[in-house]
């Protein structure tokens, strides 16, 4: 067994659908959401600002409703299975809110192994965002060498700092900033999982 720790982006890496746009679609505000998401993935606006704007769009919706939609999102099941088998040294790093992804994390079995943004909820409504995760700050805490898997601009720093930094383009196109620093890029879930097994 290697000593590598595994860090995963959640959105479009573990999930087969993009979280916020999927929620927005169900609520009929898809176009506006997608525009912001695209800009964020490409890195033309900072993640924190874009995320807060996108949260604002969903603030009028009960938290339980968002949580349910996210809980039913389709997943890259083979990847989820691999994560489950290596749970003790796997972590999800996502900008998404703890109160929204709770059910989804339980489904993946990773509710304890997560670094995410946090929010304050009252009467099933989102009151305030408490913190937005800084992926760079999370990886700076790592002692052991790690493998990082992600697709977006906000994953580039953890992929660059990784012993093995993998851009996964199975759900959406890998961001240009990830291409410039990844050690590997892969587009097929089976190929990704087979490679991860060699790292485990």
Q: Please, which residue, 99 or 186, has the CB nearer to other proteins?
A: 186
Give the position of tokens 């953890």: 158
184 interacts with other proteins by CB under 8 A: yes
Question: Site size for other proteins, by CB under 8 A?
Answer: 17
Residue 130's CB: how many other CB atoms inside 10 A?
11
Q: Of 121, 129, 142, 185, which lies in the binding site for other proteins, with binding defined by CB under 8 A? A: 185
Using CB under 8 A as the binding rule, whether residue 144 contacts other proteins is answered as no
Q: Could you give the dihedral angle defined by the CA atoms of residues 119, 151, 33 and 137, in that order, rounded to the nearest 10 degrees? A: 30
Nearer to other proteins, 49 or 77 (CB): 77
Q: Which of 25, 164, 168, 193 binds other proteins (CB under 8 A)?
A: 164
DSSP states of 94-147 as a string? EEEEHHHHHHHHHHHT-TTSEEEEEEEEETTEEEEEEE---HHHHHTT--S-EE
140 part of the interface to other proteins, by CB under 8 A: no
Cα gap 148→182, rounded to integer Å: 9
27 touching other proteins, by CB under 8 A: no
Among 37, 134, 183, 193, binds other proteins (CB under 8 A): 183
Residues that bind other proteins (CB under 8 A): 164, 179-188, 190-191, 194-195, 198-199
């Amino acid at each position: 067994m290697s000593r590598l720790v595994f860090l995963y982006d959640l959105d479009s890496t573990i999930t087969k659908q993009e979280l916020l746009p999927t929620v927005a679609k169900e609520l009929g505000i898809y176009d506006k959401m997608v525009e912001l998401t695209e800009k964020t993935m490409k890195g033309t606006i900072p993640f924190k600002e874009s995320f807060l704007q996108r949260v604002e769009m969903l603030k009028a919706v009960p938290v339980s409703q968002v949580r349910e939609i996210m809980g039913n999102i389709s997943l890259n099941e083979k990847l989820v299975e691999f994560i489950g088998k290596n749970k003790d040294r796997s972590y999800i790093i996502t900008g998404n809110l703890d109160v929204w992804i709770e059910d989804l994390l339980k489904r993946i079995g990773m509710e304890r192994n997560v670094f995410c943004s946090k929010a304050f909820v009252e009467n099933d409504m989102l009151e305030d965002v408490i913190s937005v995760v800084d992926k760079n700050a999370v990886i700076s805490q790592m002692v052991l060498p790690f493998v990082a898997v992600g697709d977006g601009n906000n994953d580039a720093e953890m992929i660059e700092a990784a012993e093995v930094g993998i851009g996964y383009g199975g759900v959406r196109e890998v961001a240009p900033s990830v291409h410039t620093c990844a050690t590997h890029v892969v587009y097929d879930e089976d190929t990704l999982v087979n490679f991860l097994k060699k790292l485990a």
